[in-house]
Amino acid sequence: MKKLVTLLLIVPALALAIIVASCTKEGEQGPPGENGINGTDGTATCGQCHNSGEAFLAKVIQWEASTHATGGNFERNDKSCAPCHTSMGFREVIETHADTTAAKVQDPTPPNCYTCHQIHETYEAADWALRSIDPVALRTDGTNTSMGQGNLCSNCHQINPPNPMPVIGTTEDITITSPYWGPHHGPQANMFTGNGGYEVGSGYGNSFHTANVESGCVQCHLADPYGVQAGGHSMNMTYAYHGHDVVNKAGCLECHTDPDNLDTKIEETKADIDEKLDELKVLLMAMGVLDEGDHVVPGTMPSLSAGAVYNYLFVLEDRSGGSHNFAYAKKLLDNTIEAIQ
């Protein structure tokens, strides 16, 4: 009996010793005892991050200003939405490789430090490692992305294929029941890689960016920040300057060496895409399949009409004005207009 009591006392003491020791740097003195030597502060390991001062603070305040932190759509915590809209949902599916979580995510949080980094897993600086930069098999047709760090973003910023999905080349009608039908709001990885459009006609190709901007999204969106408005962990591309929005070109200038020339190029590309979107919208509205607010008009329609709405929404929701992959966006719109005219 005495032995057992001793054991019961020793075990918790041992556990405590291990916990405290693990908070001290390896090889340092042990925990402070009555007559002992003071141990190293438990923050030695923690301090690698929590002591790094304003560099750490900068990331935190940039993230706080980002749409990831402020967008508010993280209450979309149902099984099918949680993988992209909640941090815990994302961390689950990155392990299971499923398209949905096993259950609704309780106490959801938006994409944050723990989502993209491996924070508080080893409590070492290695925890800054990105949670996953593995190629992402796109939900549209399983094509793998290959953009290094940008693969992380592609897990969420990709088309979530609608049901029903129009099939190219069939003459069958499809029935759409929801005005929210479409490729969903974040199709950027598909646009950047030139995948997932309802590809009528021929002649598809990609812009220079697709194969040559090696870290994809990260190269342009996490470039040197402009305060908390653009770049860095705000991940935005534009900031307000003298009353109008300008693109943060910090990630572009290693290739586009003349900033004024690039501004012109961005504007011309955007104008070209906007003009084609307007032209397609007029046609789709005349066909009675799209409303003024850019929603599909639910009903039974030919696959081609649904595909045309899908392509319109794809380019619209990409919101890069052609900067992601001008060649693909332009061809998709041109071919769609030609097919339905």
**Stretch 139-198 residues interacting with ligand HEC (CB under 6 A):** 149-150, 152-158, 160, 184-186, 188-189, 192
Which positions ≥6 away from 286 have C-beta within 8 Å?
A: none
Does 73 engage in binding with ligand HEC (CB under 6 A)? yes
Which window, 161-169, 195-203, 254-262, 280-288, contacts ligand HEC (CB under 6 A)? 254-262
Smaller CB separation from ligand HEC, 207 or 305? 207
**Stretch 53-72 residues interacting with ligand HEC (CB under 6 A):** 56, 59-60, 63, 67-68, 71-72
CA distances from 137 to 143, 157, 195, 269, 328 (A): 5, 12, 11, 29, 19
Residues 263, 273: contact at Cβ < 8 Å?
no
Residue 38 beta carbon to ligand HEC: minimum distance, rounded to whole angstroms? 18
Does 84 engage in binding with ligand HEC (CB under 6 A)? yes
**Stretch 117-146 residues interacting with ligand HEC (CB under 6 A):** 117, 119-120, 123-125, 127-128, 130
Rounded Cα gap, residues 35 and 15, in angstroms:
21
Which window, 33-41, 214-222, 280-288, 296-304, contacts ligand HEC (CB under 6 A)? 214-222
Rule CB under 6 A: choose which of 136, 237, 306, 340 binds ligand HEC: 237
Which window, 29-37, 215-223, 303-311, 333-341, contacts ligand HEC (CB under 6 A)? 215-223
Residues 93, 87: contact at Cβ < 8 Å?
no
Smaller CB separation from ligand HEC, 279 or 294? 294
Rule CB under 6 A: choose which of 229, 320, 335, 336 binds ligand HEC: 320
Residue 210 beta carbon to ligand HEC: minimum distance, rounded to whole angstroms? 9
Place of tokens 């750490």: 56
Residue 186 beta carbon to ligand HEC: minimum distance, rounded to whole angstroms? 3
Residues 188, 209: contact at Cβ < 8 Å?
no
Rounded Cα gap, residues 17 and 39, in angstroms:
12
CB-count burial class (<10 Å; 0-12, 13-18, 19+) for 248: buried
Smaller CB separation from ligand HEC, 118 or 302? 118
Place of tokens 């572009």: 252
Q: How far, rounded to the nearest angstrom, does the alpha carbon of residue 154 sit from its chain's CA centroid?
A: 6
Q: How far, rounded to the nearest angstrom, does the alpha carbon of residue 45 sit from its chain's CA centroid?
A: 30
Does 239 engage in binding with ligand HEC (CB under 6 A)? no
Rule CB under 6 A: choose which of 176, 266, 280, 296 binds ligand HEC: 266
Rounded Cα gap, residues 317 and 107, in angstroms:
29
Smaller CB separation from ligand HEC, 270 or 281? 270
Cα Rg, the chain, nearest whole Å: 25
Residue 222 beta carbon to ligand HEC: minimum distance, rounded to whole angstroms? 5
Does 116 engage in binding with ligand HEC (CB under 6 A)? yes
Does 335 engage in binding with ligand HEC (CB under 6 A)? no
Tell which residue, 190, 214, 223, has the closest CA to residue 318: 190
